[in-house]
Amino acid sequence: MKDLLIYNLDLLIKDIEDSYIPITVSNKMMTLFNEFSQDIPNEQVDNIIAIIAMSMGEEFLLTKVECLDIINNLKHSLCSS
């Protein structure tokens, strides 16, 4: 399952690089979190919640770079575990 999560994270990264729409990123991350929560390291959950929270309003928006950093850190932690 971890490989499938990494694959989906790669797709999300490509989507962000092609067209950064915070609400879309938030919704996709929520879907991934719901499907793969058992594979996500506990130390990454707060960062993932920050991306999911972007759907709650402008005050929660992250920049494109911040989102990519969070997702790349998650991928790194999945690959090294």
What predicted TM-score, i.e. pTM, was given to this entire model? 0.92
**Where are the domains positioned within the chain?**
2-80
Q: How far apart are the first and last CA of the chain?
A: 13
Over 90: is that where the pLDDT of 73 sits? Answer: yes
Question: Each residue of 1-31: b (16+ CB within 10 Å) or e?
Answer: eeeebbebbeebeeebeeeeebeebbebbbe
- CA dihedral (2, 10, 30, 70) positive or negative: positive
Q: Express each pLDDT in 11-53 by its tens digit.
A: 999 999 999 999 999 999 999 999 999 999 999 999 999 999 9
